[in-house]
Chain A
Amino acid sequence: MTLKRAAALAAAAGGLVLAQVAGMAVVAATGLPIPGAVAGLLLMLAALAAWGRIPLALSDLAALLLRHLNLFFVPAGVGLMAHLDLLARDGAALIIAIGVSTLVGMAVAAAVFVWASNPVSGGGR
């Protein structure tokens, strides 16, 4: 990896963090109840639209982060263990409620998308 490439990647990482911090600042200043990271996502989208193209280093870094998105959820997965007592107390009710509702919600979302985006058989739009 060349020095120039390392600098570009560092700048891209800085850009992502800056967008997140800016998003959190906007949320704190306006009192909007939306998550700071999601506000950061919108700011980054606006910045890319203004820039007109995706810098190569940012594209590579985003691909790396999103390819390993699962990694960042592993500590929370381990954290399940700390709450096994609560889960065991309300356990059966919770697991059934979570599992069933997730799958029902997913099926409804997919069905509505297909229905709404197919004007021939769905009659949506």
Chain B
Amino acid sequence: MSAVTWLLVTLAAYMGAIGVARRAGNHPLANPVLLAAVPVVALMLATGTSHATYAHGGAWLLVFLGPATVALAVPLYRHWPQVRAAGGPLFLAIGAGSLTAVGCALALAWGLGAAPNTLVSLAPKSVTTPIAMGIAETSAGLPSLAAAIVIVTGVVGAVIGPWMLTRLGIQDPRARGAALGTAAHGIGTARAFQESAETGTFSGAAMGINGIVTALVLPVLLIWIFAVT
């Protein structure tokens, strides 16, 4: 099948996925990325299609990630007074959450015996896919593996995160948004917008700020970590 066909297959799978998610009351477990990827992969296996062939079609959708990131400026501008008023707590939350996630991931993977190049790809896992790809590339990680890791991060965060935050007694939509955006990037932000516009705005802001902070701090941190070990 051609690239355009795979693009249409992906769109159809996504429309089916949001239909199922809506029927499930937009429950976090009914994650559209997960639900849409399953039938696409099944069809690829059934037709013996390689990922390289699929990627030609899929790349058309990746193009939208940039403009969608820019589009986050709209809710951010709309809710600017609230975001500005919560600036201090937001920055502290992003810094603490981001450092905890990266440190925890590296320590766990190293402790469980992952290869060094896997560790480099693992480090920028908390930022949105194109951002993480860029960081992993300059730090000599494996870009595609970094992308895979980013997806697992986002899906785990968007599926289990809301339930965990509720169990921890976190009701404040600003706190939920900051946490989802910091730990689970764009997929967490997509989930946050399903909760409320305010949650989504804080999630988008946290994702953007985390992207900037991670890009500035991570290369230095990695050099330091790998020099020490």
Contact = CB atoms under 8 A, between A and B. Distances in A.
A92 B112 contact: yes
**Interface on chain A toward B: helix, strand, loop, or mixed SS?**
helix
Contacts of B90: 113
B28 interface: no
Interface residues of A, number: 75
> What 6 A-B pairs have minimum CB-CB distances, sorted nearest first?
A109-B97, A105-B101, A75-B58, A93-B112, A82-B51, A106-B183
Contact of B33 (A16, A74, A124): A74
A104 B89 CA distance: 18
Nearest to B175: A113
Given A75-B59, A106-B183, A82 B144 contact: yes
Report the interface size class on chain B: 35 or more
B174 A113 contact: yes
A16 B131 contact: no
Give the residue among A40, A82, A94, A109 with the most B Cβ atoms within 10 A.
A109
Interface in B31-72: 31-34, 36-37, 40-41, 44, 51-52, 54-55, 57-59, 61-62, 64-72
A35 B207 CA distance: 12
A83 interface: yes
A71 interface: yes
A13 to B, nearest CB: 7
Interface string A48-72: 1100001000110111011111111
Interface string B173-206: 0111011101110111110010000001000101
B149 interface: yes
B221 interface: no
Given A74-B13, A98-B149, A105 B182 contact: yes
**Interface on chain B toward A: helix, strand, loop, or mixed SS?**
helix
Give the residue among B74, B153, B161, B175 with the most A Cβ atoms within 10 A.
B74
Contacts of B14: 68, 70-71, 74
A39 B153 CA distance: 24
Given A45-B76, A90-B115, A99-B156, A114 B187 contact: no
Nearest to B15: A71
A79 B33 contact: no
A46 to B, nearest CB: 9
A37 B61 CA distance: 15
A114 B175 contact: yes
B38 to A, nearest CB: 9
B141 to A, nearest CB: 12
Nearest to B69: A37
Nearest to A24: B66
A72 B68 CA distance: 9
B179 A110 contact: yes
B216 interface: yes
Given A35-B215, A48-B77, A70 B144 contact: no
A103 B112 contact: no
Given A38-B208, A113-B93, A73 B33 contact: yes
Given A70-B190, A73-B151, A114-B175, A83 B71 contact: no
